[in-house]
Structure 1
Amino acid sequence: MTYDCPIREGARLRPHAEALRFAGQTWTFRALDEEVTRWTEALAARGVDQGQRVALLSTSHPAVTFLFWALGRLGAIFAPLNARLTPAELMPLLEDVEPRLTLALGTLRDRLPEAVVLESVPDGVTASSVPERTWDADTARVILFTSGTTGRSKGVVLTEGAFRASCRASAANLGAHPAPRWLGTLPLFHVGGLAMLTRTAYEGGCLLLHERFDADAVNRAIDTEGASHASFVATTLERVLDARQDRRLPATFQCALIGGGPVPTALLTRARAAGLLALQTYGLTEACSQVTTERPGEADGRTAGPPLPGLEVRIVGTDGETLGEGQEGDVEVRGPTLMARYWRQREATRDAFHDGWLRTRDVGVLDAKGRLTLLSRRTDLIVRGGENLYPAEIEAVLANHPAVLESAVVGVPDSHWGELPVAFVVLRPGHALPDDLDAWCRQSLARFKVPTRFVAIETLPRNAMSKVERPVLRKHARSHPPYQPGS
């Protein structure tokens, strides 16, 4: 089966429907198609052709949308780079991708001085006919680099088929919507941001693109721009509710997908009281965003939900045998949303797959309804006296303490127990480190799971993909004055 560019299809079927909005500017499908055509001609004039890569350093900007669809029409591959990376971090990625063309948003070009300014790409190009290509399910569309928290960053190759399957699976879970209006607050160098960009195009909807997250701007989009869907993490969801002072959301807003870790029960209750349906979700770049998501009619905030329609999730033991409900083990995923491969890393690709199942390197458990609870990354597992401790389980308990904004739990070496858990907590404004955190945890956790120490920290260290840098916290925990090995 072959596919045409959805922007071109939209221009033919719904030319006057709004397709993109950014900072007060709007583009209908017809206007967006004209812009993409102009960019396609400009890229072709610069020698970009099928199978070649174009690297980009940019925050979210309308030009990124034009570029993405134009590259598709040429059969070229989009390689967005994380806009938070330093020049030293960017160089190895560029060497790996070997782009035909490197672009950078004007405000970021100082980090890539040799790059062409993104906004200037179509300038001065004379209109000409360009042979445009159709796609099939195996057509490579993007290379997205993982955060590299467990070693060298790997380029995840995602295909047109993966993006379309992800769209179908999410839509089947959320229910039919004639023209979804997704709030695009996730960066377009992130799989979540690209998921919103592609879904709105496939479904004839509109991407409400924001350069960065701003709670007031989000609320304006919800209240006055008809936003129907959004993706948040717990902290951004709370900021949205704080900024609107818990005013009820309009009926036009359908739901928000919540990722990034445990969500406090009180926050979910608060969201529901404001008319905001928050659905917890689990996903990863290698599976083109979502894998599991709560069902809208069954959401209780206790799990990350069951697999999306068309996807499968299983839990396996260290011997590779499938485990039953309630048994903790490695999470594996199978379905049409999976990556094609890691870019130029055959060994890593072979290691990632097992009989068609993707090894996620995450640890979790399925309940009787097939709903997933994520416990930890395999590399984050803490082993205390032979017992497995999962940071996510402990962090979920801490998240419900009224003084705790967020937390991260790491293991530190101990001569007697092997490892001991230490909790780093970011406190809410106006709160000191509570004396009752130990007692709070003991209400919900077995004694051996309770952190041996609680350390207040202003902010959690995060990498360029906003993931907590646990090695930094482990080093901090080992050098922190109260810590004595064997205590």
Structure 2
Amino acid sequence: MPVLTCPIREGARSHPEAEALTFAGRSWSYGALDAEVSRWVAALQAQGVGAGERVASLATNHVASVCLFWALGRLGAVLAPLNARLTAAELAPMVEDLQPRLTLALGALVERLPGARPLEAFADAVTSPASTCLPLDASSPRVVLFTSGTTGRPKGAVLTEGNFRASSRASAANLGAPPSPRWLGTLPLFHVGGLAMLTRTAYAGGCLVLHERFDAEAANRAIDAEAVSHASLVATTLERVLDARGDRPMPSSFALALIGGGPVPVPLLARARAAGLRALQTYGLTEACSQVTTERPDDADGRTAGVPLPGVEVRIVGAGGEVLGPGREGDVEVRGPTVMAGYWQRPEASREAMRDGWLRTRDVGVLDARGRLTVLSRRTDLIVRGGENLYPAEIEAVFVNHPAVREAAVVGFPDGRWGEVPVAFLAPRPGRERPGDAALEAWCRQSLAGFKTPARFVWVEALPRNAMGKVERTVLRRHPLH
């Protein structure tokens, strides 16, 4: 098994002057970041943090989070980055599960994490950096990331050094990434997507252009002035970047953006292409260390989530575990070196999630003859109307292509005749007149069979979302329909 070492230390030896990180108007070379991480190693050692122990952190994006991640790796310790949008009550069971050696939080968030030390000042008193940099192997745990917990108590996915390195290699092989990518870091570092950007830039000797939060104007300034080559966005943030950009052309330094979080409206992708912004749809999940499938740059039409990344396998299985062929709908399963080691302290949940090396995603999808994946629904979101399976994502994709609809969610409601019927919740696009039910039904029937057309259309100002930004369908199911 190969011995792996900290890529920041490796970069400090081979290209010390190369830029590794920018944040809040400051810049760190690999040499400077290595020295800063060494101070954090000393600070952690002073608190008794050693190999295999957990450190919980609560923070928005900050340079301190970057230093903490790499310093814990040098000690063989494990980071548990907690969602900065959660309440103290939501965080408490996670900390209880972790039993961390140390808890850290940004000053503004300390009160939500009892006993936490201020993160941004944690290493300030250290004057003598520590040279400790333990070797790692592929199976070494690096992070515990808690899932959003929409179906019960959150579970902590354990991701390893090997998971992150395999994900980075596979993504670069698919994208044809430049030798030293500059990745715009607007996704939170408590999310697998944010950690994927952090690690893939370091492994490739690139630079993470870290922002505290997403801001469309700031993102465009970074694209124009900081030679950003890549970005990871969702449909709503892609639209906001384009709105803020106006008619300014994309610079030649910008290669592409990965778009996750669900289907992207076809008109939005066409608009991005017309503006010179190449956007690739992608499908991933925490338990598979971010990306699973992604469109190929030379074969992207925005109609699917693309093919599996190199080295990753995806299959569709039926209710009895039988493998289904192209065009047949079933459960999405994933296998490969990016799949998690399991759930922290949850052996039964780990066994349920893994079968013969395959990760059971609980998503419903279909592969086409070219191996491209279309994700139809979360299994828990499936609507059964008179014996017919309806997939919310398929119906929602029709609505988000409507010029008056900004976002849409379709959920099932009990019905005496059909068992369940789909109800569409629609958020309006500003400045557009809301169409009536008859017009919406006609719009649906252009693209959908009659039984897939929602029984009701409900306008809301915005869709309810949880701390991870996912639509809270349980909240919508309690929404009055009258």
- TM-score band, normalised by the shorter chain? over 0.9
1:284-303 → structure 2 map (5 Å cutoff): 284-303=285-304
Residue in structure 1 matched with residue 180 of structure 2 by the alignment: 179
Distance in 1 of aligned mates of 2:382 and 2:130: 56
Q: 1:458 aligns with which of 455, 458, 461?
A: 461
**How many residues are paired up?**
479
Q: Does 1:226 align with 2:227?
A: yes
1:380-399 → structure 2 map (5 Å cutoff): 380-399=381-400
Q: CA deviation at 1:386?
A: 0.1
| Contact kept? 1:230, 1:256, Cα under 8 Å | yes
The amino acid of 2:278's aligned partner reads L
Distance in 2 of aligned mates of 1:43 and 1:126: 13
Which range is displaced more, 245-254 or 142-151? 245-254
| Contact kept? 2:38, 2:130, Cα under 8 Å | no
Q: CA deviation at 1:193?
A: 0.1
Distance in 2 of aligned mates of 1:269 and 1:130: 51
Deviations 1:119-176 (A, max 9, x none): 1211223426554311000000000000001111000000000000000000000004
Q: CA deviation at 1:454?
A: 0.9
Residue in structure 2 matched with residue 194 of structure 1 by the alignment: 195
Distance in 1 of aligned mates of 2:109 and 2:240: 28
Distance in 2 of aligned mates of 1:62 and 1:128: 17
Distance in 1 of aligned mates of 2:33 and 2:296: 33
Q: 1:387 to 1:246 in 2, by over 3 A?
A: farther
Residue in structure 2 matched with residue 467 of structure 1 by the alignment: 470
Q: CA deviation at 1:109?
A: 1.1
SS at match of 1:162: helix
Residue in structure 2 matched with residue 317 of structure 1 by the alignment: 318
Residue in structure 1 matched with residue 344 of structure 2 by the alignment: 343
| Contact kept? 1:248, 1:273, Cα under 8 Å | no
Residue in structure 2 matched with residue 332 of structure 1 by the alignment: 333
The amino acid of 2:200's aligned partner reads R
Residue in structure 2 matched with residue 484 of structure 1 by the alignment: none
Q: CA deviation at 1:111?
A: 1.4
SS at match of 2:466: coil
Residue in structure 1 matched with residue 448 of structure 2 by the alignment: 445
Q: Does 1:16 align with 2:17?
A: yes
Residue in structure 2 matched with residue 210 of structure 1 by the alignment: 211
Distance in 1 of aligned mates of 2:55 and 2:213: 23
Distance in 2 of aligned mates of 1:164 and 1:4: 11
Instruction: Point out where structure 2 has 5 or more consecutive residues left out of the alignment.
Output: none
Distance in 2 of aligned mates of 1:198 and 1:77: 15
| Contact kept? 2:333, 2:358, Cα under 8 Å | yes
The amino acid of 2:306's aligned partner reads G
Q: 1:246 to 1:373 in 2, by over 3 A?
A: farther
Q: 1:135 to 1:55 in 2, by over 3 A?
A: same
SS at match of 1:136: coil
The TM-score, its normalising length taken from structure 1, stands at 0.97
SS at match of 2:365: strand
Residue in structure 2 matched with residue 240 of structure 1 by the alignment: 241
SS at match of 1:364: strand
CA RMSD in angstroms, aligned pairs only: 0.9
1:400-439 → structure 2 map (5 Å cutoff): 400-435=401-436, 436-439=439-442
Q: CA deviation at 1:378?
A: 0.3
SS at match of 1:419: strand
Distance in 2 of aligned mates of 1:225 and 1:203: 18
Q: CA deviation at 1:246?
A: 3.6
Distance in 2 of aligned mates of 1:185 and 1:80: 16
Q: CA deviation at 1:54?
A: 0.3
Residue in structure 2 matched with residue 485 of structure 1 by the alignment: none
| Contact kept? 1:44, 1:130, Cα under 8 Å | no
Distance in 2 of aligned mates of 1:128 and 1:467: 41
| Contact kept? 1:191, 1:288, Cα under 8 Å | yes
Distance in 1 of aligned mates of 2:177 and 2:191: 25
Residue in structure 2 matched with residue 370 of structure 1 by the alignment: 371
The amino acid of 1:401's aligned partner reads H
Distance in 1 of aligned mates of 2:68 and 2:219: 25
Q: 1:129 to 1:242 in 2, by over 3 A?
A: closer
SS at match of 1:120: coil
1:122-137 → structure 2 map (5 Å cutoff): 122-127=123-128, 129=130, 131-137=132-138
SS at match of 1:462: coil
Distance in 2 of aligned mates of 1:359 and 1:167: 22
Taking only the aligned residue pairs, the percentage that are identical comes to 72
Residue in structure 1 matched with residue 5 of structure 2 by the alignment: 4
| Contact kept? 1:215, 1:240, Cα under 8 Å | yes
| Contact kept? 2:56, 2:80, Cα under 8 Å | yes
1:50-69 → structure 2 map (5 Å cutoff): 50-69=51-70
| Contact kept? 1:409, 1:423, Cα under 8 Å | yes
Distance in 1 of aligned mates of 2:113 and 2:301: 46
Residue in structure 2 matched with residue 304 of structure 1 by the alignment: 305
Residue in structure 2 matched with residue 356 of structure 1 by the alignment: 357
Residue in structure 1 matched with residue 108 of structure 2 by the alignment: 107
Deviations 1:225-268 (A, max 9, x none): 00000011111000000001142211100000001111111111
SS at match of 1:48: coil
Deviations 1:83-116 (A, max 9, x none): 0000111111000000000000011112124210
Q: Does 1:279 align with 2:283?
A: no
Residue in structure 1 matched with residue 271 of structure 2 by the alignment: 270
Which range is displaced more, 124-133 or 200-209? 124-133
Distance in 1 of aligned mates of 2:397 and 2:130: 56
Residue in structure 1 matched with residue 41 of structure 2 by the alignment: 40
| Contact kept? 1:262, 1:399, Cα under 8 Å | no
The amino acid of 1:463's aligned partner reads N
The amino acid of 2:210's aligned partner reads L
| Contact kept? 2:138, 2:162, Cα under 8 Å | yes
The amino acid of 1:291's aligned partner reads V
